[in-house]
Amino acid sequence: MTDRGRDLTDPDWWRTAVVYQVYPRSFADGNGDGIGDLAGLLDRVPYLAALGIDAVWLSPFYPSALADGGYDVDDYRDVDPRIGTLGQFDALVAALHAEGIRIVVDIVPNHSGSGHAWFRAALAAAPGSPERARYVFRDGAGEHGELPPSDWVSHFGGPAWTRVPDGQWYLHLFAPEQPDFDWSNPEVREEFHDVLRFWSDRGVDGFRVDVAHALAKDLSEPFRSYPRIHRDVVAVDGTDPLFDRDEVHEIFRGWRRVMNEYDPPRSAVAEAWAPPARLPLYARPDELGQAFEFDLVLEPWSAPAFRSTIQTALDRAREAGASSTWVLSNHDIVRHASRFGLPDGTDLNAWLLTDGTEPACDLALGLRRALAGTLLLLALPGAAYLYQGEELGLPEVADLPVEALEDPIWERSAHTEKGRDGARVPLPWTTSGPSFGFGQGGSHLPQPTWFADFAVEAEERDPGSTLALYRRALALRATLLEGEGVRFVDDRPAVIEVVRDGGWRSVTTFGESAALPEGEILLASQPVGDDRVLPADATAWLRDPA
Ligand code: NOJ
Ligand code: CA
């Protein structure tokens, strides 16, 4: 438990929180059916408390056909029966709050699952009906409407339109099982206000907003051409047909009014792969408050790259009156312990297609850099988002057999992209036993034998483990954080030295060792000898001499 975490009435908690992402189907399995669940998570609340996090971000746990790992939500007001019950959800909120840990839930507003009651009603209703108007149904192009209404593509590959038996087509920017809502429809807006209230009434402290930049679309016809989705092609002036349109902000101002009905107000963070310069718009105080900064995820391990990205992110947050959000891993990207072990510029998708053999990954180097990077981000002002398993130093499982893959990307890309399952393999809790203690049965994605080395049980025994370092770092951070003030000492090109309010600093080395400044060494990601030289690819925190 952290000092800041104890005060559940603090309205500003999210500004400096350490938020731990739980991907529920892969965290802990309470009933041995191979799928993680709320019972398993409840059992692990003491583990989360000992880790020292401030909040849990729970990825979707709603009823879902699992066409996209739960991001295809069939009912926004319930728990998937395979994951648990609303009663267990309430028990989880209570158990976390009792430890001073907040809970943030994922809200998926761009699309529902195709099993959602509204979508089933839309399919049963006629073209032009109010039921269809909650989604984006259109007649096709071509003489007989046999062609999709536009050239729009899905994020996961293939066309963004699917035809229904009566001949109309519906829009899905992701899988066909994820029909997009039409957010110009007031019924959709009211529905989500109600969903926000439903979870806020149950004690949820905040929301992570899935694909926040996609809700508002230009659906006027003729549709504009949009044959490729990539952050780099999104118009930077709010006029893009599909993403980051200016009208999206009115939606979030409405959300903020709802979230401010609560005391303390509910927090939110936007997942928006919008043009970076426009991220502050989502984070404005009358909108969501925070927007994920993903730039570091795209960055190689280099001091200049990290320095400028960090500086830009701090500036952007300040511009918005928000606080920065630091992220190195989540359920959508190759785990950073592996990323940092690969040569700069590695095409991660191509690497996964070789089962992680080409190029070779230097795991020891990757883990050293990962720890150094994490400690650097934890020393910065703002919130840090951690992804389950990174506290164990878990690498990507790059060699999952293709028959085991669950990510729709694999099929939708016609087997040219392996997708994200390698970051979603159920956690190892014990060094032996069925599914390494994930549960009493199997595991919905196969775990490699080397998972034993990263098991919580093994790391808890080892004072030099990644887990031990994370625990020390989070406990220390809770006592050190004071104010937003930060200054960089910029005289060494391969070093990032961050000076914080409250008389402490963090030093990170990139590729070469460096002498540490004066002061008591509070923590270091690699051993430091009497010569006070910090090895290459390491971070140390120091208290400044009085
Ligand atoms: C972003 C989520 O993080 C990802 O996992 C999901 O596939 C898409 N949004 C679609 O909901
Ligand atoms: Ca289960």
Rounded to the nearest whole angstrom, what is the distance from the C-alpha of residue 34 to the centroid of ligand 2?
6
- What SS3 state is found at 463? coil
Q: Can you tell me the distance from the alpha carbon of 538 to that of 507, in angstroms, rounded to the nearest whole number?
A: 8
Q: Atom 5 in ligand 1: which residue has the minimum CA distance?
A: 332
Q: What are φ and ψ of residue 179, in 5° steps? A: -65, 135
Degrees, nearest 5: CA angle 507-508-512 = 120
User: By the 8 A CB rule, do 55 and 17 touch?
Assistant: yes
Q: How far is CA 144 from CA 148, 169, 193, in A?
A: 11, 12, 39
Q: Can you tell me the distance from the alpha carbon of 395 to that of 103, in angstroms, rounded to the nearest whole number?
A: 26
DSSP 391: G
- Give the ligand with the smallest distance to the CA of 409: 1
Q: Point out the catalytic residue in the list 247, 261, 347, 358.
A: 261
Mean pLDDT within 49-58: 98
pLDDT band at 490 (very low <50, low <70, confident <90, very high): confident
Give the tokens for residue 112. Answer: 């529902």
Catalytic residue list contains 261: yes
- Give the ligand with the smallest distance to the CA of 173: 1
With the most atoms of ligand 1 within 8 angstroms of its CB, the residue from 64, 71, 207 to mutate is 71
Give the tokens for residue 246. Answer: 């200016």
Looking at residue 351, its amino acid is W
Q: Can you tell me the distance from the alpha carbon of 244 to that of 236, in angstroms, rounded to the nearest whole number?
A: 8
What are the beta bridge partners of residue 452? none
Q: What is the CA radius of gyration of the chain?
A: 23
Number of residues in the chain: 546
The per-residue pLDDT for 504 is 96
Rounded to the nearest whole angstrom, what is the distance from the C-alpha of residue 147 to the centroid of ligand 1?
27
User: By the 8 A CB rule, do 219 and 241 touch?
Assistant: no
User: By the 8 A CB rule, do 496 and 307 touch?
Assistant: yes
Q: Can you tell me the distance from the alpha carbon of 59 to that of 49, in angstroms, rounded to the nearest whole number?
A: 19
Counting from 1 in the atom list of ligand 1, the atom nearest the Cα of 71 is 11
Mean pLDDT within 100-120: 98
Rounded to the nearest whole angstrom, what is the distance from the C-alpha of residue 83 to the centroid of ligand 2?
6
With the most atoms of ligand 1 within 8 angstroms of its CB, the residue from 23, 59, 61, 68 to mutate is 68
Counting from 1 in the atom list of ligand 1, the atom nearest the Cα of 68 is 7
Q: Atom 4 in ligand 1: which residue has the minimum CA distance?
A: 332
Give the tokens for residue 457. Answer: 């049980």
User: By the 8 A CB rule, do 520 and 542 touch?
Assistant: yes
The per-residue pLDDT for 125 is 98
Mean pLDDT within 278-298: 94
The per-residue pLDDT for 7 is 85
Mean pLDDT within 225-250: 96
Give the tokens for residue 175. Answer: 């899988």
Rounded to the nearest whole angstrom, what is the distance from the C-alpha of residue 309 to the centroid of ligand 1?
24
The per-residue pLDDT for 6 is 63
Q: Exposed, middle or buried, 364 (CB in 10 Å: 0-12/13-18/19+)?
A: exposed
- What SS3 state is found at 450? helix
Counting from 1 in the atom list of ligand 1, the atom nearest the Cα of 108 is 11
Q: Residue 197: which H helix or E strand, with range?
A: helix 186-201
At 329-362, the pLDDT tens digits run 999 999 999 999 999 999 999 999 999 999 999 9
Mean pLDDT within 19-33: 98
Catalytic residue list contains 362: no
- Kindly list the protein residues whose Cβ atom lies closer than 6 A to any atom of ligand 1: 68-69, 71, 108, 174, 210-211, 271, 331-332
The per-residue pLDDT for 481 is 82
> Which among 487, 496, 488, 491 is positioned nearest to 538, based on CA atoms?
496
User: Does the structure show a pLDDT above 80 at 518?
Assistant: yes
> Alpha-carbon torsion 517, 522, 526, 528, what sign?
positive
Mean pLDDT within 64-79: 98
pLDDT band at 4 (very low <50, low <70, confident <90, very high): very low
Question: DSSP string of 68-127?
Answer: TTT-SBS-TTS--TTT--HHHHHHHHHHHHHTT-EEEEEE--SB--TTSHHHHHHHHSPT
Q: Point out the catalytic residue in the list 72, 180, 182, 210.
A: 210
Give the tokens for residue 209. Answer: 């907003």
> Alpha-carbon torsion 365, 368, 370, 376, what sign?
negative
DSSP 451: G
Mean pLDDT within 483-495: 91
- Give the ligand with the smallest distance to the CA of 406: 1
At 80-102, the pLDDT tens digits run 999 999 999 999 999 999 999 99
Rounded to the nearest whole angstrom, what is the distance from the C-alpha of residue 32 to the centroid of ligand 2?
5
Mean pLDDT within 127-133: 98
Q: What are φ and ψ of residue 188, in 5° steps? A: -65, -45
- For 260-405, where are the alpha helices, taking DSSP H only? 279-282, 303-320, 336-339, 348-353, 363-378
Q: Atom 6 in ligand 1: which residue has the minimum CA distance?
A: 71
User: Does the structure show a pLDDT above 70 at 509?
Assistant: yes
Q: Can you tell me the distance from the alpha carbon of 134 to that of 189, in angstroms, rounded to the nearest whole number?
A: 10
- What SS3 state is found at 19? strand
User: Does the structure show a pLDDT above 90 at 491?
Assistant: no
At 140-183, the pLDDT tens digits run 999 999 999 999 999 999 999 999 999 999 999 999 999 999 99
Give the tokens for residue 483. Answer: 């104010």
Mean pLDDT of the chain: 96
The per-residue pLDDT for 483 is 77
Q: Can you tell me the distance from the alpha carbon of 161 to that of 145, in angstroms, rounded to the nearest whole number?
A: 12
Given the structure tokens 């040219």, which residue do they identify?
A: 416
Rounded to the nearest whole angstrom, what is the distance from the C-alpha of residue 440 to the centroid of ligand 1?
29
